[in-house]
Amino acid sequence: MESLINFIAKINDFILLIIKTIFGLIKDVVSDALVWILDPIFGWLGDRIASIPAPSFFNSGVSVSSLLSGFPPFAQFVIGQMGLPEAFLIVGAGVTFRLVRKLFTLGQW
């Protein structure tokens, strides 16, 4: 009797393994199908964004370093000691993070 119960338990475990495998495969197919659907859409959107020309003032040669080089040497020293370039970097990283977060959550967060 004990061997019959063990045999039924093994069959039950085997059927459970098959069901888990099937649902895992279905989940993988659905996630792949989502990628197959969204890839052309985002590719088209990326092409549209890439076709937007850059504003002319980006190419005019004005940069922060060229603006700061006109200061007297003592002011440049103070700016260097205050860490102004690092501050610009941190603020820029924060703004970039916020914009990317808004983009990926569609403005909900």
Which residues, other chains included, contact 64 with Cβ-Cβ below 8 Å and sequence gap of 6+?
Answer: 85, 88
Q: Is the pLDDT of residue 109 over 70?
A: no
Q: What is the pLDDT of residues 19-51, one digit of tens each?
A: 999 999 999 998 888 888 888 998 899 899 889
What's the confidence (pLDDT) of residue 94? Answer: 94
Rounded Cα distance, 84 and 64, in Å = 10
Single-letter amino acid code for the residue at 73 = P
Single-letter amino acid code for the residue at 89 = L
What's the confidence (pLDDT) of residue 102? Answer: 87
Show me where the domains of the chain are located. 1-52, 67-109
Q: What is the pLDDT of residues 46-102, one digit of tens each?
A: 899 889 887 776 777 777 777 777 888 888 888 888 888 788 889 999 999 999 998
What's the confidence (pLDDT) of residue 35? Answer: 84
pTM for the model: 0.38
What's the confidence (pLDDT) of residue 105? Answer: 85
- Written in H, E and C, the secondary structure of the chain is CHHHHHHHHHHHHHHHHHHHHHHHHHHHHHHHHHHHHHHHHHHHHHHHHHCCCCCHHHHCCCCHHHHHCCCCHHHHHHHHHHCHHHHHHHHHHHHHHHHHHHHHCCCCC
Rounded Cα distance, 12 and 56, in Å = 70
